[in-house]
Chain A
Amino acid sequence: MLPDRRVGSPDDAVGAAVELGFPVVVKLGGDAIAHKTERGLVRLNLGDEVAVRDAAEDLVRSARPEDGEVHVLVAPMVRGARELIAGLHTDAQFGRCVMVGFGGILAEAVADVAFRLVPLDRIDADEMIEELGTQALLGPFRGEPAVDRDALAATLLGLSALAVADPDVVSVDVNPLIVVDGRPVAVDALVEVGGGSR
């Protein structure tokens, strides 16, 4: 995960942005908010204090009563030409399984994914990555180095370990997992525990 700051006000958001360094991403967060992008609650590539303050004020105004308690998240803006997705899913027949795939907003349309049942070992994680159809995306790509498969496998093993450690975790969505200089970086994650999210 990236270093980020959870703050309560537009002023504090500006302070956090200065501390993290521009450009930044500002999001509205809260336990009841699941899909931020779909609701326009993610503002990307904010380059100065004015932009951060405007975005934070606007986001706080967008909060709905059913969102409950909300906060503003400030994180460094990361860039990468490639986006992956990783996650944990509870299958009705096979129980909890870890997924990796082609990510970002096209993830569901492309549906290039691989699953393994929890717990995974390192060989399983490597084989999932090899199984993806879009192997060209995992090699050197548009001036960026090849995806660090060790780091990606570690992410998948981490999801498996989380599932083993906490039987209440129903699902995890790490989307997108942006590939920055070859390293997969989680910029957002949705964790569903028991019936709710956190």
Chain B
Amino acid sequence: MTAPDKMRALFDPRGVVVAGASSHPGKFGFVALHNILSQGYDGGVFATNRDGGTILGIETVASIDDLPADAPIDLAFVCTPAAVNPELLAACARRGIAAAFVTSAGYGEAGEEGRRAERELIELAERLDVLVAGPNGQGVISTPSKLCAQIVAPAPPRGRIGVASQSGNFVSSFQNYAVQTGIGISRGVSAGNAAMVGVPDYLEYFADDPETAVGLAYVEGIRDGRAFFDRIRAITPRQPYVVLKGGATAGGQRAAASHTGALASDDAVFDGMCHQAGLTRAATVEEAFEAAATFATQPLPRGPNVAVVTTAGGWGVVTADAITRSPDLTLAPMPDDLRAEIDSRLPPRWSRNNPIDLAGGETRDTIPDILGLVARHPGVDAIVYLGLGIQSNQARMMKDGPFYPGDGLERIVAYHERQDERFARAAAEISDATGKPILTATELAVAAPDNPGPRTVRETGRLCYSSSNRAVTALGHLRRYARWRERRGI
């Protein structure tokens, strides 16, 4: 069986068996079965339990060998103690189960004896031609198959981000961000001890996975840095990848005989490797998720020139500062013809420069009009749009206040909410039509996520950034990757 076939067995199995299912709701063997069943997995679900019995409506069998012979099962989700796993793996192979996700602890993380057990398990798996993910991993999710085979919540919405992590906690973090923002995940896997397959293997699978548009990885230790670099560089031309690295500031400089050596911190070398390989490196967990979410939902900017469209001054100024500080972006110089076009549509108090501050001069159609004009101008490669949802926020206060719906409040509330929905939709439609990224930022994305502005941004499948500087950071990552491709003729 080829490596991609085995990966398919892991991510899109025709059936799953939970080995070591438990009747105790506090145990992993119960939680895993619960999560698979409760999230509507497409395929057949089976379970083994030494003592038999029914768990969550599934009639368990004593061993893998007792499973119905005609049921297609590709994945074993293993929650049994390490000591019984060799026999379990052999039973999987006998039955044609191609992949096993092993949650069991007591392997490489557990001293010399554990390392030996891990080595033996992997030698056996290679002999049997069974893929072992983990051990000591948290699980795997795959939204196209509605598979949530993991021992923790949440189940993220479907989307185009493929997650692979050396730490299970970060898989959960990214999934929680997916739940919060609505920008979903295609596949997510915790590599555990990565004894047989590690983060680069998963990332390589994502490169040719039609469900995945961007890879998102958390790494700490890299066993062979040079091989990692060569493998990553082979897939970055096909798909963007975002990496968050733990241990970035740890010492690691040897007592160097040269100035060059003294300056070669692990972090500086890793950073250079990322730039060379076209790998997007994020500094924080939210930056990593937002970069991936932006790759998944916005077109790549074809140049560095960013225009800011805002309904209020201060936001625009701060956003312009962030763009100017970015090494990858430029505050677009205001083209004369665009200025004249906007002059003809707005009262003269608008900023007449970039940031394009409408200064309250807008009427019913101004925002979609101006967004369209700016996006269509060849001197602009991307837009950051600020001010969405303000009127709906006021509308909500009116709605919740004692005067609603009288005094004309019902009508104005409905108008504001309709307008913000319209503006959010216009941003997405104009971006689609022009092939240019339009990023909408407002703190209402987190302060009032049900506000019709940010809610509609989510409905268009895009990320509503909780601040403009975070939008600028994400956009900078896209531009850097786009330029990396352009320069290399990709």
Q: Enumerate chain A interface residues (CB-CB to B < 8 A).
A: 34, 85, 87-89, 91-95, 97, 99, 101, 107-108, 111, 113-117, 123-124, 127-128, 131, 171-173, 175, 190, 192, 197
Give chain A residues whose Cβ lies under 8 Å from the Cβ of B270: 94
Give chain A residues whose Cβ lies under 8 Å from the Cβ of B222: 93
Judge whether B258 and A115 touch: CB under 8 Å.
no
B275 at the interface (CB under 8 A from A): yes
Q: How large is the interface on B (under 10, 10 to 19, 20 to 34, 35 or more residues)?
A: 20 to 34
Nearest Cβ distance between residue B243 and chain A, in whole angstroms?
14
Nearest Cβ distance between residue A159 and chain B, in whole angstroms?
10
Give chain B residues whose Cβ lies under 8 Å from the Cβ of A173: 258-260
Residue of B nearest to A126 (CB): B487
Nearest Cβ distance between residue A198 and chain B, in whole angstroms?
13
In the bound complex, CA of A101 to CA of B259 (Å): 11
In the bound complex, CA of A93 to CA of B229 (Å): 10
Judge whether B272 and A87 touch: CB under 8 Å.
no
In the bound complex, CA of A95 to CA of B259 (Å): 17
Give chain A residues whose Cβ lies under 8 Å from the Cβ of B257: 34, 171, 192, 197
Judge whether A171 and B260 touch: CB under 8 Å.
yes
Write out, one digit per residue, whether chain B residues 254-266 have a CB within 8 A of any chain A CB (1) or not (0). Answer: 1001111111111
- Contacts A34-B257, A124-B276, A192-B258 hold; do A94 and B263 have CB atoms under 8 A apart? no
Give chain A residues whose Cβ lies under 8 Å from the Cβ of B268: 111, 113-115
Nearest Cβ distance between residue A94 and chain B, in whole angstroms?
4
Judge whether B225 and A95 touch: CB under 8 Å.
yes
Give chain B residues whose Cβ lies under 8 Å from the Cβ of A127: 275-276, 487
Contact among B225, B254, B259, B487 for A175, CB-based, below 8 A: B259
Closest 10 CB pairs of A and B: A87-B260, A115-B272, A93-B225, A94-B225, A173-B258, A89-B264, A95-B226, A89-B260, A91-B269, A171-B258
Contact among A34, A107, A116 for B263, CB-based, below 8 A: A107
25 contacts between A and B (CB under 8 A): A85-B259, A87-B259, A88-B260, A89-B258, A92-B252, A93-B269, A94-B273, A97-B269, A101-B263, A107-B259, A108-B259, A111-B263, A114-B275, A115-B268, A115-B273, A117-B276, A123-B488, A127-B275, A127-B276, A131-B275, A171-B260, A173-B258, A173-B259, A190-B258, A197-B257
Nearest Cβ distance between residue B230 and chain A, in whole angstroms?
9
Given contacts A87-B258, A131-B327, A175-B259, 15 further A-B contacts (CB under 8 A): A85-B259, A85-B263, A87-B259, A89-B258, A91-B264, A92-B254, A97-B273, A111-B265, A116-B272, A127-B276, A127-B487, A172-B258, A175-B260, A192-B258, A197-B257
In the bound complex, CA of A108 to CA of B224 (Å): 27
Give chain A residues whose Cβ lies under 8 Å from the Cβ of B262: 108
Q: Which of B197-235 contact A (CB under 8 A)?
A: 222, 224-226, 229
Nearest Cβ distance between residue B239 and chain A, in whole angstroms?
20
Judge whether B259 and A116 touch: CB under 8 Å.
no
Judge whether A85 and B260 touch: CB under 8 Å.
yes
Judge whether B259 and A94 touch: CB under 8 Å.
no
Residue of A nearest to B271 (CB): A115
- Contacts A114-B272, A131-B275, A190-B258 hold; do A123 and B225 have CB atoms under 8 A apart? no
Give chain A residues whose Cβ lies under 8 Å from the Cβ of B264: 89, 91, 97, 99, 115
Nearest Cβ distance between residue B201 and chain A, in whole angstroms?
18
Judge whether A117 and B273 touch: CB under 8 Å.
yes
- Contacts A113-B268, A116-B272, A123-B487 hold; do A94 and B229 have CB atoms under 8 A apart? yes
Write out, one digit per residue, whether chain B residues 470-490 have a CB within 8 A of any chain A CB (1) or not (0). Answer: 000000000000000001100
Judge whether B263 and A99 touch: CB under 8 Å.
yes
Nearest Cβ distance between residue B298 and chain A, in whole angstroms?
24
Nearest Cβ distance between residue B482 and chain A, in whole angstroms?
14
Residue of A nearest to B272 (CB): A115
In the bound complex, CA of A34 to CA of B222 (Å): 32
Give chain B residues whose Cβ lies under 8 Å from the Cβ of A92: 252, 254
Give chain B residues whose Cβ lies under 8 Å from the Cβ of A108: 259, 262-263
Q: Which of B87-146 contact A (CB under 8 A)?
A: none
Judge whether A117 and B226 touch: CB under 8 Å.
yes
In the bound complex, CA of A117 to CA of B274 (Å): 10
- Contacts A123-B487, A171-B258 hold; do A91 and B263 have CB atoms under 8 A apart? no
Nearest Cβ distance between residue B288 and chain A, in whole angstroms?
20
Residue of B nearest to A91 (CB): B269
Give chain B residues whose Cβ lies under 8 Å from the Cβ of A34: 257
Give chain A residues whose Cβ lies under 8 Å from the Cβ of B258: 87, 89, 171-173, 190, 192
Give chain B residues whose Cβ lies under 8 Å from the Cβ of A93: 222, 224-226, 266, 269
Give chain A residues whose Cβ lies under 8 Å from the Cβ of B226: 93-95, 117
Give chain A residues whose Cβ lies under 8 Å from the Cβ of B252: 92
Judge whether A91 and B260 touch: CB under 8 Å.
no
Nearest Cβ distance between residue A150 and chain B, in whole angstroms?
16
Nearest Cβ distance between residue A174 and chain B, in whole angstroms?
8
Give chain A residues whose Cβ lies under 8 Å from the Cβ of B229: 94, 117
Nearest Cβ distance between residue A192 and chain B, in whole angstroms?
6
Nearest Cβ distance between residue B37 and chain A, in whole angstroms?
43
Judge whether B276 and A171 touch: CB under 8 Å.
no
Give chain B residues whose Cβ lies under 8 Å from the Cβ of A171: 257-258, 260-261
Give chain A residues whose Cβ lies under 8 Å from the Cβ of B275: 114, 116, 127, 131
Give chain B residues whose Cβ lies under 8 Å from the Cβ of A123: 487-488
In the bound complex, CA of A101 to CA of B271 (Å): 14
Nearest Cβ distance between residue B26 and chain A, in whole angstroms?
40
